[in-house]
C-alpha cells in the first residue's frame, strides 16, 4: 500500500468526539498521513452543552493555503466535514482546485441538516453555496435530509426505493461523482447506505440502533474515507464504515455518563482488522 497524504477540513470541538477529534485518529489508524485545517475551535460541541466557547478561524484559511502552495504541499485527497460559513466553502473550493494531486480525490460530507431541517446556523444561501462544492466533488456523503436540500426534492420520513433512486439520480445529474447516501432504511429496525456512481446502484442494509449518538456521522465519513484511501471500492468502504459505526455505538451503550459521543477509540483495533481483511 502506498503511503498517502490526506487533508481534512472541519472544526475542532475540544471535547465531544466529533469533527477533527474523530477524523484525525480514524484516518491515522487507517495508515494515512492526516493533515488538518481547522475551520473553528470550540470548547465542546454544541449538542447538549451550554456556554461553550467558539473561535472562528475563517480568516486564517487563506494564509494557511497560501503557505502550502508556496511550499508545494499537495494532497492525495481532501475530505471536508462541517464548514461554518459560505466564505469557508469558497476557500475550500479553491483548496480543492489547487492543492489536490493529479488523480486525487475531493470528498465532501455536506454536514448541514438532519431530520428534515437545516442546522440552526444555516439558511438557503448556505445551501446554494454547498451545492457548488458538493456538485464539483468526486464523492459526496449526504444523509437523506441533506440530499433533499441539495436537490430540491421534498423530504419524506416514509419512502420507497423509487424515492431514493430519484434522489441519487438527481445528485449525480447535478454533478456529484459518486453518492454515498446514509440513513436509508426500508424495513423496521434496519437502516443502511445507498451508493450510486452514475451507473450502478448498490445498497447495504444493517441493523438500526434506535438511540442515536452525537458524532456518528463524522465517525462514518472518516471510516469511509480511510477505507477508500486504502484501496477499497466506494461500496466496500461504505459497508465497512457502516459496520464500524454500529460497533462504536454498541461499545457506548449502557454508559449513561457518556452521552456526548461514541467510544470509537475502543473499537479502533477492530477497524484496523476490518481494513486488513
Closest C-alpha to 251, from 221, 275, 216, 205:
216
Q: What is the DSSP string of 59-91?
A: GGHHHHHHHHHHTT--EEEEEE----SHHHHHH
Residue-range definition of the domain harbouring residue 216: 5-267
pLDDT digits (tens, 9 = 90+) for 208-229: 887 668 899 999 999 999 999 9
Residues 60-103 pLDDT 10s = 999 999 999 999 999 999 999 999 899 999 999 999 999 999 99
Would the pLDDT of 157 be above 70?
A: yes
Residue 109 lies in a domain: yes
Residue 1, pLDDT above cutoff 70: no
CA distance 159 to 218: 25
Residue 183 covered by a domain:
yes
- Does residue 209 fall inside a structural domain? yes
Domain membership of residue 277 (yes or no) is no
The verdict on residue 149 lying in a domain is yes
What's this model's pTM, rounded to 2 decimal places? 0.96
Q: Residues 43-73, buried b or exposed e (16+ Cβ, 10 A)?
A: ebbbeeeeeeeeeebbeebeeebeebeeeee
When divided into structural domains, the chain yields a total of: 1
Is 147's pLDDT higher than 70?
A: yes
Q: Is 189 helix (H, G, I), strand (E, B) or coil?
A: coil
Q: What percent of the chain has pLDDT over 90?
A: 92
| Rounded mean pLDDT, 13-36 | 97
Residue 176 inside a domain? The answer is yes
**Is 276 part of a structural domain of the chain?**
no
The residues near 76 (Cβ < 8 Å, ≥ 6 apart) are 4, 5, 6, 100, 101, 104, 105, 229
In a domain, 173, yes or no: yes
Closest CA to 271 of 216, 223, 208: 223
Rounded Cα distance, 225 and 106, in Å: 10
Q: What is the pLDDT of residue 120?
A: 85
Across 70-174, where does the E strand assignment appear? 75-80, 100-108, 113-114, 117-118, 139-140
Give the whole-number percent of the chain exceeding pLDDT 70: 99
**Tell me, what's the pLDDT at 46?**
87
Residue 253's Cα: distance from chain center in Å?
23
* 26: CATH: 3.40.1190.20
Per-residue pLDDT band at 277 (split at 50, 70, 90): confident
Q: 22: exposed, middle or buried (C-beta count within 10 Å: 0-12, 13-18, 19+)?
A: buried
Amino acid at each position: 500500500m502506498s503511503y498517502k497524504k490526506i487533508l481534512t477540513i472541519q472544526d475542532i470541538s475540544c471535547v465531544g468526539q466529533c469533527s477533527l477529534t474523530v477524523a484525525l485518529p480514524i484516518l491515522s489508524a487507517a495508515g494515512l498521513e492526516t493533515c488538518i485545517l481547522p475551520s473553528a475551535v470550540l470548547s465542546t460541541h454544541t449538542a447538549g452543552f451550554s456556554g461553550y466557547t467558539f473561535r472562528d478561524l475563517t480568516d486564517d484559511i487563506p494564509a494557511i493555503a497560501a503557505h502550502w502552495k508556496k511550499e508545494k504541499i499537495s494532497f492525495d485527497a481532501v475530505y471536508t466535514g462541517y464548514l461554518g460559513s459560505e466564505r469557508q466553502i469558497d476557500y475550500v473550493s479553491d483548496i480543492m482546485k489547487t492543492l489536490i494531486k493529479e488523480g486525487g480525490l475531493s470528498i465532501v460530507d455536506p454536514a448541514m441538516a438532519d431530520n428534515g431541517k437545516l442546522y440552526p446556523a444555516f439558511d438557503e444561501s448556505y445551501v446554494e453555496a454547498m451545492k457548488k462544492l458538493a456538485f464539483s466533488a468526486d464523492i459526496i456523503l449526504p444523509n437523506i435530509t441533506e440530499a433533499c436540500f441539495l436537490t430540491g426534492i421534498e423530504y419524506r420520513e416514509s419512502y420507497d426505493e423509487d424515492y431514493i433512486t430519484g434522489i441519487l439520480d438527481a445528485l449525480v445529474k447535478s454533478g456529484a461523482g459518486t453518492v454515498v447516501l446514509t440513513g436509508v432504511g426500508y424495513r423496521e429496525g434496519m437502516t443502511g447506505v445507498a451508493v450510486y456512481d452514475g451507473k450502478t446502484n448498490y445498497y447495504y442494509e444493517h441493523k438500526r440502533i434506535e438511540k442515536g449518538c452525537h458524532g456518528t456521522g463524522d465517525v462514518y465519513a472518516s471510516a469511509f474515507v480511510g477505507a477508500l484511501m486504502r484501496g477499497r471500492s466506494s461500496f466496500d468502504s461504505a459497508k465497512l464504515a457502516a459496520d464500524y459505526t454500529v460497533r462504536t455505538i454498541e461499545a457506548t451503550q449502557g454508559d449513561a455518563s457518556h452521552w456526548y459521543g461514541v467510544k470509537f477509540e475502543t473499537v479502533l483495533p477492530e477497524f484496523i482488522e476490518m481494513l486488513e481483511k
